[in-house]
A and B are shown apart, each in its own frame.
Chain A
C-alpha cells in the first residue's frame, strides 16, 4: 500500500525523487541514493519547521499545508504532517 502510493507519485511526469521523512528528520523511504536523501531530509525538515512557525506567528489560527521551493533546476514540494514529511522533487517542463 505504501509502496504503491510512492510508486504512483514517483512515476508522475518529471518527478526526480520521492522520500518520506519522520518527525525527527530521519528518512524512512526514498527513491534516491543515501547521501542525497540524508541531505535533503535534514535541510528540508529544518526549513519546514521554520516555515510552519512563520505561518503560525503571523496568524495563530493558520497553519502550514504545503511548501514549494522553486530553483533554477527543479521544484521541491513538501507535504508536512504531525508525524511525517513527504518530499517530492520534480523537474518542471519549461
Chain B
C-alpha cells in the first residue's frame, strides 16, 4: 500500500501600499507643574471629614511609630550585582597616538552619552597641539569603542568639559588658551555653537573647570561659568552670532581673602589666587566652593558685591566673591565636590594625596583621609548614596569610599591603568546610577558598572550623614 498527499494548491499575489502618511514625533521640554490655586470648597464638609478620620489616622500613626513589624525586612526588586565590572573601554586612536590624556569627562542630560576631552595635564609646549572632544552613545547598537559617535577637532588642548543640563547634545569646554567653547554634537559638519574668542575678557591662563548654571529668573536658560588659574571666575552667556559674552565676573585677590585661617605669607601687591576647581551647592544656587592653587578651599557667593582690587582689564566690573577661607591642604586642590544630600558638606582632593571632608560652618576639615601616595585628581560624591564618594588617584586607581562601612580605608579599589599612569577625571552618571566613567593618562575612558551596594540607599543613610556633619569640632 502506498499513500501520497494530494497536490497542494499554490497561488501568487502581490501587495503594495497605495497611500502613505508621514508623521513626525518630537518630545517637548516638560512643562513645570504648578499647584491649582485654592478653589472654593465647603469648609464645613472639610471640617466634618477631618473630624471623621482624625482619630483613625492618629491611632495608625502611633501604632506605626511603635511597630517592629518590618524590622530587618528587605525587598530586592532588581538583580543584585556583587562586583564592580568594566562595561566599556573607550578610546580615540588618533588622540592616543599623539599621547594625549583624557582631561575631562561628562555625561549628558539623558545619561546615555559620555564625552571626553583630550589634552595634556603636564603642562609643556602643548598649547599649539590640536586636540579632540569625543562622545560615545552607549545606548546605540553597534557601539564601537575605538570609534566615537561624535568627534570635534579643537585647535588647542581641552582641559575640562561639561554637558548642558537639559540639552542632550550641547557641551561646553575650557581650553589651554583660556577660551571657552560650546559645541553642538548633533551637528557633525559645524559643531561650534559659541566661543569666547581671545578678547580682554578671556582668561589669560588655562581654564580649569566649566560649569553650566541656570540664568536667574529664567530657569530653562543657562549660562557657562569658567574658572582658571589667573584667578578669575567668569560667567558667560551666548548672544547673537556665536559669541559668548561676559555677563558677570569675579577675581580672587590674595589681599581680599577672608582671614578665617592662617595662610602662608605672600608678597605685597595684588597677587592673584589661581582657581583650580569649582563646585556649586545643590541647596543654594548662588553658593559655590572654589579650589585654589594655594590648597585652601574658598566659600564664595555669586551675590557678593565688593569690587575686586585687580588691574585685570574687563568689560564687566570684577567682584571679590570669597566669604570664608578653609584650612589648606598640603598642596594645590585639584577637585571639589558639594554633597547633594547635605547643605554643609563638601569634599576636596589635592596633590597631597588627601581628601578632606569639610563642613561649611568651620575652617578645619571634619576628616582628612590619605588615599594616595601620589596626587589625587578628582573627587565626586555619589548622586544616590549620601555616604559614598569616588576619587581618582595618580597611581591609576579609582577609589570608592563608603563612609558607612569604613571611615579609614576605601571600600573598593579599582585598578584602571595597568602601568600606574594616573586617572585624571571621573563622573557618576545621575540617570543610570550604576555607571561611573573615568578617564586616564593613556587616553582611555573606562565605564565601570558598580555593584548594587553602591547604587541603593540604605534605610538610615541620610540620618547618618546628618550625624557626621554635626560633628563640628568645638
A residues near B, CB below 8 A?
1-2, 5-6, 8-9, 12-15, 20, 22, 26-28, 30, 34-35, 37-39, 65-66, 68, 70, 72-73, 75, 77, 79, 81, 83-84, 86, 88, 90, 92-94
Contacts and interface: CB of A to CB of B under 8 A. Distances in A.
B46 A26 contact: no
B66 to A, nearest CB: 8
A63 B50 CA distance: 19
Contacts of A6: 50
A68 B63 CA distance: 12
B29 interface: no
A81 B49 contact: yes
B413 interface: no
Nearest to A26: B36
Contacts of A65: 56
Interface residues of B, number: 32
Contacts of A79: 53, 56-57
Contacts of A84: 45-46, 49
B33 A34 contact: yes
Nearest to B66: A93
Contact of A9 (B35, B47, B61, B460): B61
Contact of A28 (B41, B47, B51, B67): B41
B64 A27 contact: no
B4 interface: no
A29 to B, nearest CB: 8
A37 B457 contact: no
Contacts, number: 91
A38 B50 contact: no
Contacts of B35: 27, 30, 34-35, 37-38
Contacts of A88: 57, 61
B315 to A, nearest CB: 38
A92 B64 contact: yes
Given A5-B51, A79-B53, A68 B60 contact: yes
B64 A28 contact: no
A2 B57 contact: no
A5 B39 CA distance: 20
Nearest to B68: A94
A38 B33 contact: yes
A37 B35 CA distance: 8
Nearest to B39: A26
B52 interface: yes
A80 B62 CA distance: 19
Nearest to B64: A92
Contacts of A22: 41
Interface string B6-47: 000000000000000000000000001111101101010111
A28 B38 contact: yes
B71 interface: yes
B60 A77 contact: yes
A5 B65 contact: no
A81 B52 contact: yes
In the complex, the 6 A-B pairs of residues with the closest C-beta atoms, listed nearest first: A79-B53, A34-B35, A5-B50, A84-B49, A12-B61, A38-B33
Nearest to B42: A83
A83 B49 contact: yes
